[in-house]
Amino acid sequence: MVDTGEIKNLPVHVAIIMDGNGRWARQRNLPRVEGHLVGMESVREIVTTTRKLHIPYLTLYAFSKENWKRPKEEVKRLLELLEIYLEKELPLMMEKGIRLNILGDIKDFPKRVQRRLQETMDKTKKNRELCLNIALSYSARKEILQAATAIAEEYKRGAIKRINERVFEKYLWTKGIPDPDLLIRTSGEMRISNFLLWQLAYTELYITDTLWPDFREEAYIEALKEYSRRDRRFGSIKEA
C-alpha cells in the first residue's frame, strides 16, 4: 500500500529524466547495460505507482536525440531492451488501462522497432487511466523547430490567421497533454538536457542524487511530498 496521507495535492503530470544507469553499474563494476536492465525495473515500479495514485500523465525521458552519439554497442543494447520492455509490459498496460504515446522521432529507429512502437500505441489507444509518454530519440529543440516549420507552412497557405501560444501548442508532440507540474531528475545533474523546453516553463523541479535504478516507490513518494509543499505562483503574488 502507498501511504500518501501527507500528500494534499498530487500533480496531474509528472515528467522524469531517468538518469544514472551507467553510474549505478560502474559503482558495482558491472557493464553499463546492467544499469539499464535494472533501470527497467524502476520504470515498471514508477509506472505502477503512478497508476495506483491516479496521476493521469507520466512522461519518461528514455532516449535523447543526442544519445545516438553513444557507442554503437550501448545503443544496440538499449534498442533491444526497448523491444523487450514493449513486449513484456503490454499486458500490464492493457490490464491497468495505460495508453502508450511516443514523443520524438520514431523514424530514427530500425523498422522493426518502429512497427513494435506503432503496434503498442495502436493496441493501447483506447486506454484511459494513465497516459504514459515515452520520449525516444527526443529533442525539445527539434520538437519546437518542427512545430515552427509546420505553422509557417499553414500560415503561408492561409490555414491559420494568428499564431499564439494556444495555436503553437497544437503543433508540438505533446498536443492535448497538460504541461508537467513536476519534473524529477535522478542522479543529481542540474540540467534539462534538451527535454520539454517549451512545456517546462512553470514546472516545479526536483533533482535527487538517487540513481535511476535505485529510484523506487519510496523515493517517488518523497518527491511527490516535496511537490505538495511547493508554493506555485506562476509569476503572480501570494493571496493574503
Contact partner, 132, from Mg ion, ligand IPE, none, Cβ < 5-8 Å per class: none
C-alpha to C-alpha distance for 64 and 62, rounded to whole angstroms? 7
Question: Catalytic residue at 19?
Answer: yes
Name the residue number minimizing CB distance to ligand IPE.
22
> Exactly one of 13, 16, 19, 25 binds Mg ion (CB under 5 A); which one?
19
Residue 100 pairs in a beta bridge with 132
Find the part of the chain contacting Mg ion (CB under 5 A) among 19-27, 70-78, 139-147, 227-235: 19-27
Stretch of residues binding Mg ion (CB under 5 A), selected from 15-23, 70-78, 152-160, 196-204: 15-23
State yes or no: residue 48 binds ligand IPE (CB under 6 A).
no
d(C-alpha 69, C-alpha 62), whole Å: 15
Q: Report helix, strand or coil for 183.
A: strand
Helix axes 32-52, 217-229, angle to 10 degrees: 60
- Residue 177 to residue 163: CA distance in whole angstroms: 19
Choice from 191, 229, 232, 233 touching ligand IPE (CB under 6 A): 191
Return the one option of ligand IPE, Mg ion, none that residue 63 interacts with (CB less than 5 to 8 A, by type).
Answer: ligand IPE
In sequence order, which residues have a C-beta less than 8 Å from that of residue 36 and are 6 or more positions away? 21, 77, 78, 81
Identity of the residue, 67 or 146, whose beta carbon is nearer to ligand IPE in the bound complex: 67
Q: Between 82 and 224, whose beta carbon lies closer to Mg ion?
A: 82
Question: What is the number of alpha carbons within 13 Å of residue 93 lying toward its C-beta?
Answer: 23
Angle at 180 between CA 176 and CA 181, to 5 degrees: 130
Helices (H), 59-174: 72-96, 111-124, 140-156, 165-169
**Does the annotation mark 214 as catalytic?**
no
Please, which of residues 63-122 interact with ligand IPE by CB under 6 A? Answer: 63-64, 67, 78
Alpha helical stretches, state H, 10-70? 21-27, 32-52
Question: For ligand IPE, which residue of 193, 198, 205, 226 counts as binding (CB under 6 A)?
Answer: 193
C-alpha grid cell for residue 55? 496521476
- Residue 208 CB, nearest distance to Mg ion (Å)? 14
Question: Site map for ligand IPE, 8-27, x if CB under 6 A?
Answer: ---------xxxxxxx----
Footprint on this chain of ligand IPE (rule: CB under 6 A): 17-23, 61-64, 67, 78, 187, 189, 191, 193
Catalytic center residues: 19, 67
Footprint on this chain of Mg ion (rule: CB under 5 A): 19
